[in-house]
Structure 1
Amino acid sequence: ANIRATMDSNYYGTLAMIRAFAPALARNGGGAILNVLSVTAWSTVDGNTAYAAAKSAEWGLTNGVRVELARQGTQVTSLVPGLIRTDTLLEFARNAGIELPEEQMNDPADLARLALDGLEAGEVEILDQMGADAKAALTGPPVALSL
């Protein structure tokens, strides 16, 4: 049930939002959709497989929708951050006995600025350093996320 809820929220929830707003964006001559993914779309840590699979599916969805909505003038961008200093992440780490590297944690306000700057620049993927490292690692064998 938890795995299904994770997929429902991250994949089907994103799909539902796109379906709800894409027609309005088309009527207004286009716009932008920002899907918030995670570095776990490309890598994961032990015990996080369902979330990683959901974010991977959301990445595939984002890439497909980007192509489909381009003709209506809608920019579809993915934000692919690493660690975000949120209560949810801190609780997960505590429960899993993981010590998170403070210097790699994104402040949510800084990440929002990064996302807005990336949207304005027309980027298709907006990555922090951890996201860039994870994407670059896709050219090699699968590895767990290094914290």
Structure 2
Amino acid sequence: MASAATFGTLDMVRAFAPVLGTNGGGGILNVLSAMSWFSYDGANAYGVAKAAEWSLTNGIRLELAGQGTLVTGLHLGSADTDMSAGYHGEKIDPADVVRAALDGVEAGRIEVLADEWSAYVKASLANDPSEFFVATAR
């Protein structure tokens, strides 16, 4: 799963980046996940795919900066979509995700944390990882 998702994104960027560069730059928004930064039992393949996507996003940001293309990573927990219909935890309204993404791109941000959960997970990266895993394993 990680390979297909990562190489699909890379293929898409390779297709559009030259056009953006020819036109003086532009923007690429890659929808990631708070699971870019942690694993969850039963969703390990998804977490691996999103971690790879996060790394890819950081790499293409460096590669495309010289042509004036902004590459923004959008992280969120769970949005209230068909994909998360079976998930019964807190979900963000998709319209709020879109607003956060557009506001971030307009502000020139390289990373957008669309909800409190993704902000919490990202902040936990600076701590001892056992603290996060103990807190989420309950």
The normalised TM-score by structure 2 is 0.89
Name stretches of at least 5 consecutive residues in structure 2 with no aligned partner: none
- Corresponding position of 2:89: 100
Alpha-carbon distance between aligned partners in 2 of 1:14 and 1:83, rounded to the nearest angstrom: 21
1:29 matched to 2:16: no
> Counterpart of 2:27 in 1: which secondary structure?
strand
Alpha-carbon distance between aligned partners in 2 of 1:35 and 1:50, rounded to the nearest angstrom: 18
- Corresponding position of 2:53: 58
Name stretches of at least 5 consecutive residues in structure 1 with no aligned partner: 1-5, 94-98
Given the alignment, which residue of 68, 78, 89 partners 2:84?
89
Q: Report the identity percentage.
A: 50
The CA deviation string for residues 89-119 of structure 1, in whole angstroms up to 9 with x for no partner, is 123x3xxxxx313xxx111111101100000
Alpha-carbon distance between aligned partners in 2 of 1:32 and 1:9, rounded to the nearest angstrom: 23
Given the alignment, which residue of 94, 100, 103 partners 1:114?
100
How many residues are treated as equivalent by the alignment? 133
Shift of 1:10: 2.5
The CA deviation string for residues 21-41 of structure 1, in whole angstroms up to 9 with x for no partner, is 000000110000000000000
> Counterpart of 1:61 in 2: which secondary structure?
helix
Q: What RMSD over aligned residues (CA atoms) do the two structures have, in Å?
A: 1.7
Structure 1 runs, 4 residues or longer, greater than 4 Å off: none
Query: Which stretch shows the higher mean deviation, 32-41 or 42-51?
Result: 42-51
Shift of 1:9: 4.3
The CA deviation string for residues 38-75 of structure 1, in whole angstroms up to 9 with x for no partner, is 00001232100000000000000000110110000000
Higher relative contact order (CA 8 A, sep 6+): 1
Alignment of 1:105-144 (within 5 A): 105-127=91-113, 128-139=115-126, 140-141=128-129, 143-144=132-133
